[in-house]
Amino acid sequence: MKEARDRIEIMAPAGSFDSLSAAIHAGANSVYFGIEQLNMRAKAANNFTIDDLTTIVSQCQEAGVKTYLALNTVMYTHDMALMKKICDKAKEVGLTAIIAADLAAITYAKSIGLEVHISTQQNVTNYETVEFFSTYADVIVLAREVTLKQVQEIHDLIIKNDLRGPKGDLIQIELFAHGALCVAISGNCYMSLATDNSSANRGACRQNCRRAYRVIDDETGVELKIENEFVMSPKDLCTIGFIDQILDTGVSVLKLEGRGRSPDYVRTVTQCYREAVDAYYEGTYTKEKIAAWIVELEKVYNRGFWHGGYYLGKTMAEWSGAYGSQATQENIFIGRVSHYYDDKHVAEVTMETETLEKGQTMLFTGPTTGAVTIEHAEPWVNDAPVDMAKKGDVLSVVVSERVRANDKVFVVVPRKSVQ
């Protein structure tokens, strides 16, 4: 299994220290994140600051996990000082690489010996463009609209021509494997800029495409009847059902989207794709496992799934049909951990709101804990088992994995309305 994990990199999102730990614990080989405002989730995610870089890199290096900094927005002249400051700091603390699209960031990073990966924002769709960027980058993220046949052709030409990057290694291909799709495909969208003067290409998307719209004839005032008001909001991409075909093309990195998502989302998605890749190399990748992984993925944030995407030559005809998440479960905050007893594997939780019934699922999240779930909880209050713990109670519950004081605690329940 070590060979599989060395060959294929599961790249997980980190929008907070909680999610960072969740990704590491779930088996990610690498994490990507943003700091300050020069990344494509400048407003949507809980970005780290430049002062967090040392801690992030140190934590990941200790776990043997690579660190990638998204520095992939369109940049103007006034951004140059901050861009260089970020790159200098990244180089100083030992960051693995930056993910960039703007040539100013790409060339500056190369000039100081900082590894570069070419962002999907560059919309790379052919070998010739890969060859051009091989002077600057070791990993190329292909556009999201390529087919697997095209990916295979690009990979075969890399091998045939022995195309290598600045490190001297063969150029690696990264593909987007799971998560939110934009109607603009590879993220080059100007709608938000046009309507709100808020540039999506500078990480400030207002997500116009996720809203409901009506189609009305200006001349007659007649409204066209359409079955789905969300005509620009595609379902999320899910490739776990054909991960074998993706790996057969020779890709090296699988990117999981979700820097704005919760720790349990990061844990669940990372763990499912980790298991799928491992199963592929073990020869145990089966329809039964695929079905089980999809059930798990449906529990966390999603807009419905598009199984196949452009990779299998499909056209974009699968729209979400609803606003927001279609997850089958939701997490309700109930309190915080006040203490964890290592010798007994027991967490003490102060209930701040809602209730917890015996047999329900509990979720613990924290910057070091990541995301830990226990099913069929058996709460104790005042040294006695109870059928229900309520606001104001201090309950005890067995948690085999270590949790920590101040970790948030949730009860996981079926979502009330999934359209």
Per-residue pLDDT reduced to its tens digit, 165-189: 999 999 999 999 999 877 666 566 6
- Position with higher pLDDT, 353 vs 193: 353
Per-residue pLDDT reduced to its tens digit, 130-143: 999 999 999 999 99
Per-residue pLDDT reduced to its tens digit, 336-373: 999 999 999 999 999 999 999 999 999 999 999 999 99
Determine how β-strand 97-100 pairs with β-strand 116-118. parallel
Bridge partners, residue 385, by sequence: 380
Percent of the residues in the chain that have a pLDDT greater than 70, as a whole number? 83
CA 214 vs. chain centroid, Å, equals 31
Per-residue pLDDT reduced to its tens digit, 16-34: 999 999 999 999 999 999 9
| Overall average pLDDT of the 79-86 stretch | 95
Domains, the chain, ordered by start: 2-181+234-312 (3.20.20.70), 329-414 (2.40.30.10)
- In 3D, which of 102, 156, 167, 168 has the Cα closest to residue 127? 156
Distance CA 405, CA 297 (A): 29
pLDDT of the residue at 1: 43
Determine how β-strand 329-341 pairs with β-strand 408-414. antiparallel
pLDDT of the residue at 29: 97
Helix extents (H) in 232-323: 243-248, 263-282, 287-299
- Residue-averaged pLDDT of the chain: 88
The confidence band for 45, taking pLDDT boundaries of 50, 70 and 90, is very low
Token pair for 322: 């609803």
Sign of the dihedral defined by the CA atoms of residues 239, 301, 316, 186, in that order: negative
The confidence band for 244, taking pLDDT boundaries of 50, 70 and 90, is very high
CA 218 vs. chain centroid, Å, equals 41
| Overall average pLDDT of the 318-346 stretch | 84
Cβ neighbors of 149 (< 8 A, separation 6 or more) are 313
